[in-house]
Amino acid sequence: MYKIPLFDLNYDENEIRAVTETISSKWISSGPKCRELEEKFSEALQISYACAVSNCTAALHLALCALGIGKGDEVIVPSLTFVATVNAVKYVGADPVFCDIVSPMDITIDETKFESLITPKTRAVIVMHYAGFACHMQKIMEIARKHHLYIVEDACHAPLSEYQGKKLGTLGDVGCFSFFSNKNISTGEGGMLVTDNPEIDKRVKLMRSHGMTAMSYERSKGHSASYDVAELGFNYRMDDIRASLGIVQLEKLAFDLKKRERIREWYLENLKELDGVWMPFADYHEFSSNYIMPVVLKNADHIRRDAVRELLQKQGIQTSVHYPAVHRFSVYQDLAHGELLNSEYVADCEITFPMYGKLEKSDVMFICNAFRQILEELQ
Ligand SMILES: *Cc1c(COP(=O)(O)O)cnc(C)c1O
């Protein structure tokens, strides 16, 4: 349908073989493949513990549960994120407090506004590393430490992305990753929670499986005949079919990210000098996973942005928007918030361009030329 889609799966016969092997093994629910993925993921991130879960929304929910956050507590969140970041706060009965982003060039939580939002009720902040570009973690960690706040990293965009020599998702108390189809690691549905804290690891592993002290795979191996239900848990398990996909995807990830890095350079070379558009993170120097390729129109509004997207679509180029601002959704409209001007501007004027390893230089040239022409015509 589209000449150039927004995303394409990085799948080949290896994923098919891995799934076939798992099905042939007859153990398809949470078992040895989940354990293997957890080990390989924690090793890749150089962190002590990883807990495979059904999706990142579950990971975020478990993270807040394990940190003991609940009713009466406040959690600071960005509004320019996927709604799940904020929903997780509501799941535990706590109140989200929206923090603006820095600017259209830096679409991450504004560390200079963060501290002024802290009240005696604030217990945690959830940072979201947009497209794999790190939030201003040094300052955020400093403020969090001063006010005894937990840091949860929504690192859904950021597997293997780095910040001052560490992997994103390993800087705060808990890191949460998504393996949804269009993420850097694709398993259909899936997620991972990482931590260096053994107590948190123990608690989330209990809570992802009904609060049961032993999972069926362990019981089938005779490690324990019975189990207790130690606390109220959920069914947030991953299954081994998806875990076997995740193992193959993780093996391919570093190479895929190299390709994405080059693709981003092609976009920047073509669009950086263009009037009328900001290229977020253009001067960023850490390693990023480049989950998505955002641009932000200057002097625009959502009507102009949608017109540009429509003209791109007419040329066969699929685009998206990351994200509609969460505080404007009906379900969050009653929640009081301060000014979120940058979040609102970017929500109205951002366009996400195609980004995936299979993109050729000629594809990027085609997109950039089409975009340049559209901006000129709309003058
Ligand atoms: C994808 C995504 C989520 C949700 O992940 P699921 O695995 O689909 O639950 C949460 N936050 C961000 C920033 C995401 O991109």
Task: For 109-125, write each residue's pLDDT tens digit.
Answer: 999 999 999 999 999 99
Tokens of 126: 């959830």
- Plot region of 93 (φ>0 → left; ψ -120 to 50 → alpha; else → beta): left
CA of 302 to the centre of ligand 1 (A): 24
pLDDT recorded at residue 142: 98
- CA 32 vs CA 10, 206, 217, 220: distances in Å: 24, 17, 8, 12
Spatial separation of the C-alpha atoms in residues 155 and 167, rounded to whole Å: 10
Q: Which residues contact 124 (CB under 8 A, 6 or more apart)?
A: 64, 67, 69, 73, 75, 76, 149, 150, 151, 152
* CA dihedral for 44, 46, 51, 56, sign (positive or negative): negative
Give the DSSP letter of residue 13. Answer: H
Rounded CA-CA distance 194/167 in Å is 11
User: First vs last Cα of the chain: how many Å apart?
Assistant: 29
Closest residue by Cα to atom 10, ligand 1, is 84
Distance 231 CA to ligand 1 centre (A): 26
Please name the residue whose Cα sits nearest to atom 6 of ligand 1. 56
**Which two structure tokens, joined as six digits, stand for 271?**
């669009």
The mean pLDDT value for 250-268 works out to 98
Quote the mean pLDDT of the chain: 97
The predicted-structure confidence for 146-175, as pLDDT tens digits, reads as follows 999 999 999 999 999 999 999 999 999 999
pLDDT for the residue 220: 81
Residue nearest to atom 15 of ligand 1 (CA): 156
Distance 377 CA to ligand 1 centre (A): 36
Residue 155 makes CB contacts below 8 A (sequence gap 6+) with 129, 161, 168, 169, 175, 176, 177
H helices present in 185-239, as ranges: 198-207, 216-220
**Lowest mean pLDDT across 11-25, 67-81, 201-215, 319-333:** 201-215
Using the atom order of ligand 1, give the atom closest to the CA of residue 128. Answer: 13
Q: What's the 326 CA to ligand 1 centre distance in angstroms?
A: 13
Task: Tell me the pLDDT tens digit for each residue of 201-250.
Answer: 999 999 999 999 887 777 788 777 788 998 999 999 999 999 999 999 99
Q: Residue 203: its pLDDT value, please?
A: 97
Distance 273 CA to ligand 1 centre (A): 32
Does residue 80 have a pLDDT over 80? yes
Which tokens belong to 87? 């929903």
Cα 83 to middle of ligand 1, angstroms: 8
Ligand 1: residue of 87, 154, 186, 236 to mutate (most ligand atoms within 8 A of CB) is 154
- If one residue of 54, 61, 177, 180 were mutated to test the ligand 1 pocket, choosing by the most ligand atoms within 8 A of its CB, it would be 180
User: What stretches of 155-259 adopt beta strand conformation (E)?
Assistant: 162-163, 166-167, 174-178, 191-195
Residue 365's pLDDT band, with cuts at 50, 70 and 90, is: very high
Give the number of the atom of ligand 1 that is nearest the alpha carbon of residue 291: 15
Rounded Cα gap, residues 32 and 22, in angstroms: 10
Residue 58 Cα to ligand 1 midpoint, Å, equals 10
3-state secondary structure 268-319: HHHHCCCCCEECCCCCCCCCCCCCCEEEEECCCCHHHHHHHHHHHHHCCECC
| Beta-ladder partners of 176 | 154, 193
Ligand 1: nearest atom to the Cα of 84:
10
- The H or E element containing residue 33 is helix 32-45
Q: What is the mean pLDDT of residues 181-208?
A: 98
Residue 55 Cα to ligand 1 middle (Å): 8
**Residue to substitute in 108, 178, 320, 355 for testing ligand 1 pocket (most ligand atoms within 8 angstroms of CB):** 178
User: Residue 372 Cα, ligand 1 centroid: separation in angstroms?
Assistant: 31
The confidence score (pLDDT) of residue 169 equals: 98
Q: For residue 84, how far is its CA from the centre of ligand 1 (angstroms)? A: 6
- 302 exposure class (CB count in 10 Å sphere: 0-12, 13-18, 19+): middle
With bands split at pLDDT 50, 70 and 90, how would you rate the model's confidence at 93? very high
pLDDT at 341: 98
* Residues near ligand 1 (Cβ within 6 A): 55-57, 81-82, 84-85, 128, 154, 156-157, 178, 180, 191
Question: How many angstroms is it from 157 CA to the middle of ligand 1?
Answer: 8
Nearest atom within ligand 1 for CA of residue 191: 7
Rounded mean pLDDT, 250-278: 97
Predicted confidence at residue 207, as pLDDT, reads: 97
